[in-house]
Amino acid sequence: MTEHATRHTPPEGPPGDGDVLLVTDLSRRFGDLIAVDGVSFRVGRGETYGLLGPNGAGKTTTISMVAGLIEADAGTVTVKGHRMGPARVEPKRHIGLVPQELAIYPELTARENLTFFGRLQGMSGTTLASRVEDVLDVIGLSDRAKDPTKEFSGGMKRRLNIGIGLLHEPELLILDEPTVGVDPQSRNSILESVESLSTAGMAVLYTTHYMEEAERLCDRIGIIDSGLLQAEGTRDELIRLTGDVDHIRLDGSGDTVAAEAALLALPAVEQVDRERHTLHLAVHDAPTAIAEIVTEATSAGMRLNDVQITRPNLESVFLRLTGKALRD
């Protein structure tokens, strides 16, 4: 554990112009439990940063401090240059929070929910009314705007939950496991929305324990476990950090011995194991090297029947960093 924790270092220097969120050495404990332990990261404009970790890893506590819901025991959170805290007002103008729970009022209609939170954000008049209609359109609830949300399906409530976070067009959108308990169709719709927001220049902080979501959405990922940020970087950087390589399996017939020797000579190939008519290759960057590998094996006299590529993913990174599976 200690070995992996040292892989991560806090962001250095003052916040850059592009930094919307800067988190430095953030810590929080509840009694004897250290929920968050010295977490640091930064999120820039137009960037989606993912906090990936299992349940109880410290993601929601980190989000709670970033959104100014609870006080940090140590460390700082800065949003657009403003120090965040429960009693701070200015930095909260720049954030939109989408809590993990369905944070909507069941007795109010979709429009009333949006209008209520819009007013608390300081919006009013035609600006608010117009923005409410825009968001209703974006989340696909315009035709159900007058219905009490207690009559909504789970997916509709999730979409409204996100819509409220977007209403005032925040510079930093914080989403805490927004797809938990959502059907595949609504889940895809939510992921598409997040992608389009990021493209539009919004900074997004996204927590999840779904590896696929982190891989699809996030420009950079912080792997968190037991309150510690174990590592962070792009997907490829994280995989390289663990030293994992891609694996290619070649099934066929012919001269596999000659093929083994030929393939070992290629720079991209690190290791070849032969098992009767099958070759197992450890390769750097399989998608790039595959064409050359197939050509070389064929030239050496191997007739290929099947080729399989296996690349390491964040699940295997997490396993290697923490010693446990992501869904443990």
Report the interface residues with another protein, using CB under 8 A. Answer: 30, 64, 67-70, 86-87, 89-90, 92-93, 95, 97, 99-105, 107-108, 112, 116-117, 119-122, 148, 164
Pick from 39, 87, 81, 74: which is nearest to 60 by CA?
39
Say how far apart CA 23 and CA 76 lie, in whole Å: 6
Between residues 65 and 283, which has the closer beta carbon with respect to another protein? 65
Nearer to another protein among residue 157 and residue 220 (C-beta): 157
Determine whether 167 is exposed, middle or buried from the number of CB atoms within 10 Å of its CB (0-12, 13-18, 19+): buried
Nearer to another protein, 177 or 260 (CB): 177
Rg of the chain's alpha carbons, rounded to an integer?
24
Cα Dmax for the chain: 78
Name which of 86 and 323 has its Cβ closer to another protein: 86
In the complex with another protein, the residue whose CB is nearer, 163 or 252, is 163
CB of 48 to another protein, least distance (A): 19
Residue 293 CB, nearest approach to another protein (Å): 51
Q: In the complex, what is the shortest distance from the CB of residue 249 to another protein, in angstroms, rounded to a whole number?
A: 47
Distance in Å, CB of 282 to another protein, minimum: 47
Alpha carbon of 146 to those of 92, 107, 112, 129, 178: distances in Å? 29, 11, 8, 14, 24
Closest distance between another protein and the C-beta of residue 99, in Å?
4
DSSP characters over 86-105: TT--GGGGGEEEE-SS--S-
